[in-house]
Amino acid sequence: MNSSQQKKIVLGISGGVAAYKSAELTRLLVKAGYDVHVVMTEAATHFVGPVTFQALSGNLVYSDQWDARRPNNMPHIDLTRGAAAVLIAPASADVLAKVANGLCDDLLTTLVAARDCPLFVAPAMNRQMWENAPNQRNIAQLQADGIQIFGPGNGEQACGEVGDGRMLEAQEIFEHLEAALQPKLLKGQRVLITAGPTFERIDAVRGITNTSSGKMGYAIARAAYEAGAEVVLISGETALPTPIGSRRIDIKSAQQMHAAVESEVAASDIFIAVAAVADYHVLNASEQKIKKSAQQLTITLAPNPDILASVSTRANRPFCVGFAAESENLLEFAEAKRRRKQLPLLVANLAQSAMGADDNEVILLDDHGQTRLESAPKIDIARRLITHIARLCPSVK
């Protein structure tokens, strides 16, 4: 079961072109198991019709305070009761100004004032409006009132100008919302993660790599940030967007990954080695493309450093977590690896089931024994792993 199942979210939509992104946001929320109730300002209905949100959310859409569809005629109270949060996306300069000053002149602003749950806002406006002094004062007031601001993003705007004020993409807002709702089990912890494959160059156009999508490592980076950690993600080449909250360092080879880990590890409390590091690199890789010939070609391989072992044997080591993808004798090989690399925690998975998939099924091995995490989306496995780490790691209070 997805951890977000049955959580009610009130999604407020105010007037802005970015309202079209909220259709995608609604879809993402529903897909993740949230019960989404959309409330639109009158202006918002000029950008996207309520029918779109009703169809996507499966719930009635409200915009009028006097809507007679509510038997007690109090949608401003009912809608937020039992909700995990109210999220306003897009939040226009006007709606932010009203909320910052406690005005309640329509359904959305009235239910915000009457809510008994957290409020998050994703601003969307032209760059001049964003920088406008009253808007900046309102943002500061909202922050002082404990309201979390998601974004805004920077870039090209619908009006053609470039700058701050764009609404974040739906996926980013979704990730921020999920992060805001997770318990802060790793607050104050600095987490270093390796993810993805390494690439060992043979010549200018060829190389040796491992099969690794990076999905598990990226999900762990996201889950660590959700838990309140400061996250550094050292990544081989993947097709994935950087998870929110991570400082990402891109590398190609195992030696580059090792160097990046060396320069970051002293400032880390927890090290999670998820990367599929190539065991060998090519000796005397050619700068130029090797030309085809009828002769046999021999490539000499030399062992790469074991990054995880080099960290776990440091004098002042962080809490080290390893991964073991095995294609047979999973538990036996994994436990031997845990002892050899001196790890307090190792995550074992069958290589066949994990590679590239969106779901995973793992066994956690530590000094107390085994914990099986049944098949689930990688982000759910990642959150449960973070909970387990928080329980075992001595630096976590």
Q: Phi, psi (5° rounding) for residue 36?
A: -100, 125
Q: Which of 324, 345, 389, 393 binds ligand C5P (CB under 6 A)?
A: 324
- Select from 8-16, 72-80, 126-134, 304-312 the region that touches ligand C5P (CB under 6 A): 304-312
Q: Which of 32, 93, 108, 254 binds ligand C5P (CB under 6 A)?
A: 254
Q: Which of 25, 282, 308, 365 binds ligand C5P (CB under 6 A)?
A: 308
Tell me the Ramachandran region of residue 51: left when phi exceeds 0, alpha when psi lies from -120 to 50, beta otherwise.
Answer: alpha
160: three-class secondary structure by DSSP: coil
- Give just the sign of the alpha carbon dihedral 228, 230, 235, 239: positive
Q: Are β-strands 345-350 and 369-377 bridged in parallel, bridged antiparallel, or unpaired? A: unpaired
Nearer to ligand C5P by Cβ, of 24 and 306: the residue is 306
Nearer to ligand C5P by Cβ, of 97 and 277: the residue is 277
- Give just the sign of the alpha carbon dihedral 181, 186, 188, 190: negative
Nearer to ligand C5P by Cβ, of 108 and 307: the residue is 307
Q: Which of 63, 304, 349, 360 binds ligand C5P (CB under 6 A)?
A: 304
- Select from 15-23, 77-85, 272-280, 282-290 the region that touches ligand C5P (CB under 6 A): 272-280
CB of 306 to ligand C5P, least distance (A): 4
- Select from 71-79, 113-121, 305-313, 373-381 the region that touches ligand C5P (CB under 6 A): 305-313
CB atoms within 10 A of CB 105: 9
Q: List the alpha helices (DSSP H) in the chain.
A: 19-31, 50-57, 75-78, 93-101, 107-113, 127-131, 133-144, 170-181, 215-226, 254-265, 307-312, 330-340, 351-354, 378-392
CB of 274 to ligand C5P, least distance (A): 6
159 counts as catalytic: yes
CB atoms within 10 A of CB 365: 23
Positions that interact with ligand C5P (CB under 6 A): 194, 254, 273-275, 277, 304, 306-308, 322-324, 337
Question: Which residues are catalytically annotated?
Answer: 159
